[in-house]
A and B are shown apart, each in its own frame.
Chain A
Amino acid sequence: SYVLTQPPSLSVAPGQTATITCEGHNIASKAVHWYQQKPGQAPVLVVYDDRARPSGIPDRFSGSNSGNTATLTITRVEAGDEADFYCQVWDPSHDHRRVFGGGTTLTVL
């Protein structure tokens, strides 16, 4: 089955840029979605279809997808961005399952 790999953690100073990667075989052929989950809360969709943003999500959040790596970029990081971030794809060849990456904990220093 399809596997998505994320770094477990990332630390960034306020005002800097956070880059969170999501690796998967030929992931560029799939639509990648990103979720932010703050402690004690449900996940929130922050980027869908590689680079689109739902309404209400700041333009500091952006995504890209190429080759075997998808990337979520957060510019001008704020303390309130501290959360777990998960990438996700749809795998129609295996029970139409949604596949999640293991998650990356973003710490704002």
Chain B
Amino acid sequence: EVQLVESGGGLVKPGGSLKISCAASGFTFSMYKMNWVRQTPGKGLEWVSSISSKSSHIFYADSVRGRFTISRDNAQNSLHLQMNNLTVADTAVYYCARDSLGGSSLDYWGQGTRATVSS
């Protein structure tokens, strides 16, 4: 069974940093492109970042480029998002999502981890 379990969310002050992680199991993690998608309170979904299977291709949304860094450890089956210089607008539930093989849909999602940026 495919499982994606996020962790590391919490409360941080504006300008602060937070690193969230996603532990993957039930599939060959090293074969799949992975993504972070966030959802602000009461709002819709926003794609944040993606990383290819071997970390050779990395992309970011304009809203986070230069502040967030996506990474992965295929030996540990884990995905990470380092978030720096956080603002109130970054308050959201962050989901880890797997790219479908050979497609562009997100076929499995974790339950999310909440990051709250507040003074």
Contacts and interface: CB of A to CB of B under 8 A. Distances in A.
Interface string A72-93: 0000000000001010111000
Nearest to B100: A48
B45 A42 contact: no
Q: What band does the interface of chain A fall in when counting residues whose beta carbon is under 8 Å from B? A: 20 to 34
Interface secondary structure of B, over-half rule: strand
Contacts of A101: 44
B59 interface: yes
Contacts of B35: 98
Most buried by A among B35, B47, B62: B47
A100 B107 contact: no
Interface of B: 35, 37, 44-47, 50, 57, 59-62, 95, 100, 103-112
21 contacts: A31-B103, A33-B106, A35-B45, A35-B106, A42-B109, A42-B110, A42-B112, A43-B109, A45-B107, A49-B105, A86-B44, A86-B45, A88-B45, A89-B104, A96-B50, A96-B57, A96-B59, A98-B35, A98-B50, A100-B45, A103-B45
